[in-house]
Structures are given as structure tokens and as C-alpha cells.
Amino acid sequence: MKQATDPAKERYALMEKIQMVDFALVELTLYLDTHPQDTQAIQQFNQLAVESRDLKSAYEQRFGPLRQYGGSFSGYPWNWGDSPWPWQL
């Protein structure tokens, strides 16, 4: 039985997952810059990219857009400016 966790806790848990995946993507990007032929790392990078996109869309459906200029879909009304901002989280 999924215990009803309050949205704040869920929000932080989801944001933490996003940060974990994005950090790994940054590391892999830097690694792949110097190792372009490493197929295994490229495969891992693509898997993480898909995971990151899914996590972000899940987050955005519930807590509002994360990115601008088409990076995220907008809710109604135009709500990308609503708080909390990432640094206020």
C-alpha cells in the first residue's frame, strides 16, 4: 500500500533523482569528450539521457516547468515564473 507521502517530500525525492542522473550525464560527457570511441560509455550515456528526459517530464507534470524556451511544456496560465525557483527548493 503506497503510503501517502506529502508532495514536498516526493518533490525533493524526484528532484534528487534528476540531479543524480544529470550529474552522471555531465561526468559521462566530459569522459566521452576524450574517449569518443568508448561504445559502452556512449550506450550508458544514451540510457541516462532517456532516463533524465522521463524523470523531468514526470516532475514537470506535477510541479511545473523546469526549463524555458521550449524545454518544457507550459501549464495554464503561463507559470514558468512561479516560485519555488530551483535555488529556493
Residue numbers at the binding site for another protein (CB under 8 A): 16, 19-21, 23-24, 27-28, 31, 34-35, 38, 40-41, 48
Nearer to another protein, 35 or 53 (CB): 35
For residues 78, 48, 84 and 75, what is the CA-based torsion angle, rounded to 10 degrees? 20
Minimum Å distance from CB 58 to another protein?
17
To the nearest whole angstrom, how small is the minimum distance from the Cβ of residue 38 to another protein? 5
Q: How far is CA 24 from CA 19, 32, 42, in A?
A: 9, 12, 12
Q: Which three cell numbers, joined as nine digits, stand for 53?
A: 528526459
